[in-house]
Structure 1
Amino acid sequence: VPELNPSIYQNGTKIYDEASKITTDEAQKRVYQDSVMTLFIKRGQLYDDETKWIENKAYYAYGYYKDVEEMLPNVVADFERAIELNGELSLAALYPAYFDAIRRNDGYNDAYTPEQVLEKYGEIQKLLAKAEADGKDVATAKSQMENLLVAMDLIDCDFIENTMGPKLAADPTNEALADQIFNYSVQYKCYSTNAFLQALEIKHAKEPSFSTSQVIAMRYMQEDNTAGAEEMWTQALKLAENDMQKADAQMELAKIYVKQGKKSAGRAAAKEVANLDPSRTSDIYSLIGGMYMNSFNDCKGGESRAKDYSIYIAAYNAYQKAGDSSGMANARARFPSKEELFTEGLQVGSTINTGCWIGETVTLATRD
């Protein structure tokens, strides 16, 4: 009486499953397990209610056949059928089982390309995100998924750069792929790849933040792209959430301006750092002192040695504010001599303006 009632199949699967757990005969165990699968198949032939039991079939199949090479494609197919019919798996814990079946199927049967595995992984991640949005606890499932992916040893920096990167370059509007590259790059610490930079640029364009601006700017500096770095740190300054972040951005801008030869802008940015974070005073004034020291050739007029060398006095003063004794000694060694001041009719203790972009009035002193 196979059509007597669906309960025959509901209870029958439970009975055969329990029987498989009780017997110690491995051959008989497999008979009982196969019978569970047969009941699901028979029920599917008689009743139009596959949505009600397909997830259970996948669950049982995984438990029974996860180590059986020839059965693994069916196990994966059952999970995918459940998702196809119901839009999701009802229990978050089933997603790691599904992905483990994929992993085992790939290991036993070489069933997928790495890209296909990652595509399936990405689809499961989306389903977990939906489950989380619906209020389900998916933390354990996510952790198990990550561990399984790592165990597959599919991804490294070369894979991200040479396999995933060209696909993103060919389709820069693929935000899902960009997110995937970004996440894998962070997970596997592949920060120096071009693929990571492109993914980060796409992520930043969509959701600009201080951190994304910061990382892109740092990469640009590694490539000696000071113009790009300046633009990104300027964005970072606008996106900063507190004074510490603003100070970081201003300090990096100061260094960039110095490298670009924009010395006045560099000094202004550096001094702004002091207003935002006084704890950086030493670094700020060491930077300014170095700027002054390196400006001699740009600023010397050749008419007054006292005036030309006065920039070293300005540098000394900056190093003094920084508490940089080595910088102070280096600057003092370049002060004008007593003879040079005497020749020009000047005295120690009098004042002079450095002129040039430095434009500071300093008190004359000598190196001897």
Structure 2
Amino acid sequence: MKNALLGMALFIGAFGVANAQQAAAQQGNPMTEWNWGDNKPKAQEKNALYNDSYKMGQHREAANALHWLLVNTPNLNPAIYINGVEIYDELANSAQDKAKKVVYQDSVLTLFDLRQKHFGGEADIAERKAYYAYKYYINDKTRLPMVYESLKRTADLNKENMSYANAVAFMVAMQRYKTANPKALTDDQALDYYDMIVQSLDKAQEQYPDQAENITKYKASVDDLLVKTVNVDCKFVEQNFGPRMKQNPNDVDAAKKVFKLLRAGNCSDSPLYMASLKTIYNNEKTFEMARYLYERSAKEGNSADANRYMADAISMAKTPADKGKLILEQAVSAANRGAKSEARSLAYKAIESDPSSASRAYSLIGNLYFSSNECYQQQDIVQDRAIFLAAYDMYQKAGDSNGMAKAKAQFPSKAELFDQNKQAGEPIRVGCWIGESTTLRTRD
């Protein structure tokens, strides 16, 4: 129940934004040509009457005068339909009588049909009509087919350019319509429209960056609705789409469909999941996808692919922070497989790419030095403990107090320096792969 309420809240939010955008669009200058008909004085009188009432918020009076214009001068000017929608929508919102409310709501939808009939512009008008159809009747089972057809019409006409509010609404209506009429819409048709809806939302995120976070939530809700709309089962997807992928592994559209289905069905462990993602990536490389493929390949132990995807991700990184983080991940990976010298080089490269990564990078180098037991010669205890002095230096650069304390606890003692005829403050060279110079210090 909580998820359902959240979903509806998101959709309502989408429609609020879209409604504001529509209102702004309608402020444009309608056609300047006015077709007054055979009785111009009467038409001008009615036009003045409805406009005066409209401006004063007297919507019932405005509707009375507007009705005469709609009947007698239907091709007067688009303004009578643009303003008429607002007038009848206000009447519908304020109507207490349910029957009257429905009459006003149907009048709004009829105004869109009449405007399109007399002035064209079907793609734009379909967008606006679909918005109101959903607003009025999405919860009316008897009108659901009309709502679905209205949204389907704008999807067919505008495709990925439909408003993101209508895109979300279409997914809601499609899920409900298909549930009520399973044979009226095939899974393939629903998937095609789903693809279009996602493309619309992707495009909207680019056009409206201030709404990006909300649109991300709408996408999640759309994905949830997909699972309720089509029969998403891992085995079903593999059996029905697997052969298609094998026959044409470079079919990007098919790969996208398979990927979205498997993702919606939580089938990320399916071999088909990675196969489809790689097909998409080979044709449409993105930073996010390269990074994800790197993580999956590294997890599966495929180092060759992991290195390739990591190199791609680094080359596509949009910010120094992204680049530095990726290189540091490479450093950690090298450290985990025991390639300490390589890990250190990568850590320094991360610092060079993104100075803000210095703390993590120096801590990593400190850890590399601290764990370098292979550098013990077991002939000079002070020399052997010099790796901890070098580690301390790195931890200090990182501002890593825990690492500094850990390294200092392993420093040579004053007695050990005395036994080797050495003094604190003297320089000492740390050999082995570390190759650093540092200063002798004691733990006591």
- TM superposition score category, shorter chain reference: 0.5 to 0.7
Contact 2:233 2:265 in 1 (8 A): no
Indicate how the Cα distance of structure 1 residues 98 and 293 shifts in structure 2: closer, same or farther if over 3 A, else same: closer
For each residue in 1:231-260, what CA deviation from the matched residue of structure 2 results, as whole angstroms up to 9, or x when unmatched?
321221222233222212211111111112
Match of 2:180 among 105, 108, 119: 108
- 1:164 pairs with one of 237, 241, 250: 237
Partner of 1:316: 392
| Cα pair 1:306 1:341 within 8 Å, conserved | yes
Given the superposition, is the C-alpha separation of residues 365 and 144 from structure 1 closer, same or farther in structure 2, using an over 3 Å criterion?
closer
Unpaired stretches in structure 2, ≥5 consecutive residues: 1-125, 131-135, 205-214
SS at match of 1:365: coil
Q: Distance in 2 between matches of 1:127 and 1:281?
A: 39
Aligned partner of 1:273 among 340, 346, 350: 350
For 1:246 and 1:126, locate their aligned partners in 2 and report how far apart those are by CA, in whole Å.
28
Q: Which one is further off, 248-257 or 191-200?
A: 191-200
Whether the aligned pair in 2 keeps the contact of 1:281 and 1:322 (CA below 8 Å) is yes
The alignment's TM-score, normalised by the length of structure 2, stands at 0.53
Compared CA separation, residues 116 and 317, structure 1 to 2 (3 A): same
Offset of 1:367 from its aligned partner?
1.9
* Per-residue Cα deviation, 1:84-125 (whole angstroms, up to 9, x for no partner): xxx968996999999888656643343279743534425765
Work out the CA distance in 1 between the residues paired with 2:273 and 2:260.
Answer: 9
Please state if 1:359 is matched with 2:435: yes
Give the secondary-structure state (helix, strand or coil) at the position aligned to 2:232: helix
Distance 1:223 1:367, change over 3 A: same
Correspondence for 1:217? 294
Question: Residue 423 of structure 2: SS of its match in structure 1?
Answer: coil
Which deviates more, 172-181 or 95-104?
95-104
Distance 1:88 1:274, change over 3 A: closer
Alignment check: 8 A CA contact 1:92 1:128 kept: yes
Q: Distance in 2 between matches of 1:180 and 1:308?
A: 59
Q: Which residue of 2 aligns with 1:240?
A: 317
Distance 2:306 2:256 in 1: 22
Q: Which amino acid aligns with 2:180?
A: Y
Q: So what's the TM-score if we normalise by structure 1?
A: 0.62
Residues 90-239 of structure 1 aligned to structure 2 (within 5 Å):
103=175, 106-111=178-183, 115-122=187-194, 150-151=224-225, 153-154=227-228, 159=232, 161-165=234-238, 167=240, 169-170=242-243, 171=245, 172-183=249-260, 190=266, 192-194=268-270, 195-239=272-316
Which residue of the partner structure matches residue 284 of structure 1? 361
**Alignment match, 2:414:** 338
| Partner SS state of residue 321, structure 2 | helix
Instruction: Provide Cα deviations, 1:291-340, integer angstroms capped at 9, x if missing partner.
Output: 111111x2112222222111010001111111111111111111122333
Select which of 254, 264, 270 maps to 2:341: 264
Q: Secondary structure at the match of 2:428?
A: strand
Kept in 2, the 8 Å contact 1:292–1:315? The answer is: yes
Q: Deviations over 1:134-179 (max 9, x none)?
A: xxxxxxxx999997875464379x9364433555543133311322
Q: Aligned runs of 1:45-56 on 2, under 5 Å?
A: none
Q: Is the 8 A contact 2:389 2:411 kept in 1?
A: yes
Aligned mates of 1:102, 1:155 — CA distance in 2 = 8
C-alpha contact 1:105 1:111 (8 A) present in aligned 2:
no
- Matched with 2:116 is none
**Contact 1:216/1:229 (8 A) holds in 2:** yes
For 2:256, give the aligned amino acid: D
Assess if the C-alpha contact under 8 Å between 2:262 and 2:268 holds in 1.
no
* C-alpha RMSD of the superposition: 5.1
Q: How much does 1:343 deviate?
A: 2.7
Give 3-state SS (helix, strand or coil) of 1:353's partner: strand
On the 8 A contact 1:114/1:154 being kept in 2, the answer is: no
- Structure 1 residue identity aligned to 2:182: D
Distance 1:114 1:154 in 2: 13
Deviations 1:261-319 (A, max 9, x none): 111111111112222222222111111111111111x2112222222111010001111
Question: What is the distance in 2 between the residues matched to 1:244 and 1:320?
Answer: 22
- Structure 2 Cα separation of the partners of residues 146 and 280 of structure 1: 32
Pairs within 5 Å for 1:18-97:
none
CA, structure 1 residues 118+145, in 2 after alignment: closer, same or farther (shift >3 Å)? farther
Measured in 2, the distance between the counterparts of 1:235 and 1:127 equals 24
Unaligned runs of 5+ in 1: 1-54, 133-141
Which of 349, 355, 360 in structure 1 is aligned with 2:425? 349
Q: How far apart are residue 216 of structure 1 and its match? A: 1.4
Amino acid at match of 1:303: Q
Superposed CA deviations along residues 13-51 of structure 1, whole A, max 9, x for unmatched, are: xxxxxxxxxxxxxxxxxxxxxxxxxxxxxxxxxxxxxxx
- The 2-side partners of 1:319 and 1:179 are apart by 46
Residue 198 of structure 2 contacts residue 219 of structure 2 at CA under 8 Å; is this kept in 1?
Answer: no
Aligned letter for 1:308? D
